């Protein structure tokens, strides 16, 4: 089947010259050709993401056109044509080209495209959709993936990533596009003349910066804080620097080697603030200037990593769960007049630490599936119903939202709040690291970990599903010496209580995820990634000391690793 698709591309007479040359170079590598053509690139968490190159399973102008054509047909069906589509892009290879190709397809449907003239953070795109009253939004980005990747992330008219129901409708339209090579496009200059391609910049920047002022919780806090910031060669530099400055933080040192956009992300092995190597240069800066806090954002600026000195002055990179706990405790503890219906929204793989903190302030918390689109969906739902008042949303993978003028995780907002939290604790003669351990002493020593197994290609996808099937079908009653209390299967939306032999429905969308709830506040979760060829294993424990929690989680990880069998691939 893949050979037929490959031949179709080879025989297309007006194939893009660069892609045609790349196909020629791959002609003798059947494995790579099969991977490029054995399937169509699929929507994952809100859009497309994949390696750049020729083929139906790659990111290129033709797969972009197919996705844009499907989205255009969906917009027509939803009667949103006149509202247009806002488009942003990051520093990756082909990002601006893909943004313009998208506008060229939309223009054929008389759908206006509002496109930034230069790279912008993903959360600003989320804001732009709302600010411009657009019918949809698109970000060309692959977030923190390696340099060879790019993506096409779709947002709805609320500024949130499209949830499953909308994604399903869009992908149906995408799948109806019979030949991605023959999707019609308009010429760029024609679109500009007809006002169907509208370039945007300062108006949205100014409005977004104005909204950032509302992120401040306490304006009276002394802000003599030394901050080191790295945008990791991405989009966050201007808005983070301006946002911190207007909030009163004047001692901000940007890592100059990582300040400029670079599609190769040449100073890091991965542009992911979740990985400690991304902080190496920031740590060097921090040691030289005596920094109080280090911050780094991923390329599209929707994730924020934070590091702080310990009692010995050594910088410790905080996990997303730890940073979220510090932000949440500060927000709830320092805000005046918390609403009676205030709400924390987190994901099913985010630490229970946040729920415990929220409970201590009398604030309700709810869980969503993994992915910030589900948090954004809940914000919209409760905004319309008035049932809850959104206070904070976060996920363990370094995504946070403070104010809902954006509807996606926002590293710019998070940077401002992290700085304020650090300043508050500095005024108490404590670092963020010391403040974190005060929270542990008060609420218990929560510890989490994440392991990823990369399994690429068609055979890798089969291996991942085999692992899921093994855990789903086995009657597991004990893990690492701890009884299994419940098994949550989000594919069937059921929670089975193992010891009681009863089940109940989970009121969340279907997803290929398994979560095992163990005794003594321990749990683990299996989840295939929606954006990378990986299966992820999440772990969470709680005990009376850090050492005990570390011992428990090590035993749990070892037990799970010993069970996993991966076929030869």
Q: Is the pLDDT of residue 94 over 80?
A: yes
Non-local (6+) Cβ contacts of 463 within 8 A are 455, 566, 567, 569
Does residue 134 contact residue 156 with C-beta atoms inside 8 Å? no
The model's pLDDT over 511-529, given as tens digits with 9 standing for 90+, comes to 999 999 999 999 999 999 8
Which of 176, 200, 224 terminates a domain? The answer is: 200
Claim: this prediction has a pTM higher than 0.75: yes
Q: Is the pLDDT of residue 273 over 90?
A: yes
In a domain, 354, yes or no: yes
In a domain, 104, yes or no: yes
Co-location of 183 and 48 in the same domain: yes
Q: Is the pLDDT of residue 445 over 70?
A: yes
In a domain, 109, yes or no: yes
In a domain, 156, yes or no: yes
> C-alpha angle 372/378/382, rounded to 5°?
150
Q: Is the pLDDT of residue 543 over 80?
A: yes
Q: Is the pLDDT of residue 549 over 70?
A: yes
* pLDDT for 198: 97
Give the least confident one: 61-65, 138-142, 397-401, 562-566. 562-566
Co-location of 418 and 450 in the same domain: no
Cα–Cα distance, 401 to 392 (Å, whole number): 6
**CATH code (residue 97):** 3.40.120.10
In a domain, 24, yes or no: no
Which of 386, 415, 443 terminates a domain? The answer is: 443
Co-location of 102 and 166 in the same domain: yes
Which residue out of 91, 95, 143, 365 is catalytically annotated?
143
Give residue for tokens 């060309």. 140
Round the CA-based radius of gyration of the chain to a whole number and report it: 24
In a domain, 568, yes or no: no
The model's pLDDT over 160-192, given as tens digits with 9 standing for 90+, comes to 999 888 988 998 999 999 999 999 999 999 999
Cα–Cα distance, 304 to 292 (Å, whole number): 16
* pLDDT for 566: 64
The model's pLDDT over 68-92, given as tens digits with 9 standing for 90+, comes to 999 999 999 999 999 999 999 999 9
Give residue for tokens 């929560």. 446
Which of 443, 463, 493 terminates a domain? The answer is: 443
| Tally: H helices and E strands in the chain | 18, 23
Co-location of 394 and 291 in the same domain: yes
Co-location of 233 and 381 in the same domain: yes
In a domain, 233, yes or no: yes
* pLDDT for 12: 94
* pLDDT for 44: 60
Co-location of 241 and 266 in the same domain: yes
Co-location of 336 and 308 in the same domain: yes
Co-location of 189 and 73 in the same domain: yes
The model's pLDDT over 207-241, given as tens digits with 9 standing for 90+, comes to 999 999 999 999 999 999 999 999 999 999 999 99
**CATH code (residue 540):** 3.30.310.50
* pLDDT for 567: 52
The model's pLDDT over 466-484, given as tens digits with 9 standing for 90+, comes to 999 999 998 899 999 999 9
Co-location of 195 and 122 in the same domain: yes
What integer best gives the mean pLDDT of the chain? 95
Co-location of 84 and 217 in the same domain: no
Which uninterrupted H or E stretch holds 434? helix 432-443
Number of domains in the chain: 3
Confidence band for 568, pLDDT divided at 50, 70 and 90 = very low
Q: Is the pLDDT of residue 250 over 90?
A: yes
Looking only at the bridges linking them, the beta strands covering 304-309 and 85-89 are: unpaired
* pLDDT for 569: 37
Cα–Cα distance, 208 to 199 (Å, whole number): 17
Co-location of 103 and 213 in the same domain: no
Q: Which domain holds residue 187?
A: 40-200
In a domain, 16, yes or no: no
Co-location of 343 and 392 in the same domain: yes
The model's pLDDT over 33-67, given as tens digits with 9 standing for 90+, comes to 999 999 998 876 578 999 999 999 999 999 999 99
Cα–Cα distance, 516 to 494 (Å, whole number): 12
Catalytic status, residue 143: yes
């Amino acid at each position: 089947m893949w050979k037929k698709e490959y031949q179709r591309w080879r025989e297309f007479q007006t194939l893009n010259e660069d892609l045609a040359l790349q196909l020629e170079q791959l002609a003798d590598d059947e494995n790579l050709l099969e991977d490029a053509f054995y399937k169509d690139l699929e929507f994952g968490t809100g859009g497309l993401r994949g390696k750049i190159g020729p083929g139906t399973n790659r990111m290129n102008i033709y797969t972009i056109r197919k996705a844009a054509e499907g989205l255009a047909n969906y917009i027509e069906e939803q009667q949103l044509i006149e509202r247009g589509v806002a488009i942003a892009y990051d520093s990756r290879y082909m990002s601006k080209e893909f943004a313009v190709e998208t506008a060229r397809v939309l223009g054929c449907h008389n759908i206006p495209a509002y496109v930034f003239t230069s790279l912008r953070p993903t959360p600003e795109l989320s804001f732009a959709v709302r600010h411009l009253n657009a019918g949809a939004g698109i970000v060309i980005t692959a977030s923190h993936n390696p340099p060879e990747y790019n993506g096409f992330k779709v947002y709805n008219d609320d500024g949130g990533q499209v949830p499953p129901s909308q994604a399903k409708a869009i992908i149906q339209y995408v799948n109806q596009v019979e030949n991605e090579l023959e999707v019609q496009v308009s010429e760029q200059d024609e679109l500009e003349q007809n006002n169907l391609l509208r370039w945007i910049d300062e108006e949205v920047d100014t409005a977004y910066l104005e909204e950032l002022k509302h992120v401040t919780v306490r304006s009276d806090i002394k802000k003599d804080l030394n901050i080191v910031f790295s945008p990791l060669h991405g989009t966050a530099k201007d808005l983070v620097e301006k946002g911190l400055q207007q909030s009163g933080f004047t001692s901000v040192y940007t890592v100059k080697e990582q300040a400029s956009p670079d599609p190769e992300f040449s100073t890091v092995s991965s542009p992911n603030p979740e990985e400690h190597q991304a902080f190496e240069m920031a740590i060097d800066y921090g040691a030289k200037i005596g920094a109080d806090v280090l911050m780094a954002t991923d390329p599209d600026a929707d994730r924020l990593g934070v590091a702080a000195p310990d009692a010995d002055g050594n910088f410790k990179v905080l996990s997303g769960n730890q940073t979220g706990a510090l932000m949440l405790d500060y927000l709830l503890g320092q805000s005046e007049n918390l609403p009676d219906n205030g709400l924390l929204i987190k994901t099913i793989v985010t630490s229970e630490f946040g729920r415990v903190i929220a409970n201590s302030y009398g604030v309700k918390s709810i869980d969503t599936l993994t992915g910030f689109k589900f948090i954004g969906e809940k914000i919209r739902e409760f905004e319309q119903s008035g049932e809850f008042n959104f206070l904070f949303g976060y996920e363990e993978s370094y995504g946070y939202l403070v104010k809902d003028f954006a509807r996606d995780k926002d590293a710019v907002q998070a940077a401002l709040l992290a700085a304020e939290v650090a300043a508050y604790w500095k005024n108490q003669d404590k670092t963020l690291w010391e403040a974190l351990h005060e929270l542990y002493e008060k609420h218990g020593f929560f510890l989490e970990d994440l392991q990823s197994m990369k399994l690429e290609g068609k055979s890798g996808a089969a291996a991942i599903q085999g692992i899921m099937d093994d855990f789903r079908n086995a009657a597991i009653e004990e893990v690492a010496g701890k009884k299994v209390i419940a098994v949550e299967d989000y594919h069937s939306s059921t929670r089975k209580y193992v010891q009681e032999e009863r089940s109940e429905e989970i009121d969340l969308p279907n997803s290929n995820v398994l979560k095992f709830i163990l005794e003594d506040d321990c749990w683990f979760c299996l989840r295939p990634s929606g954006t990378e060829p990986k299966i992820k294993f999440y772990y969470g424990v709680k005990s009376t000391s850090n050492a005990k929690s570390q011992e428990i989680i090590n035993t749990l990880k070892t037990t799970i690793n010993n069970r996993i069998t991966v076929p030869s691939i």
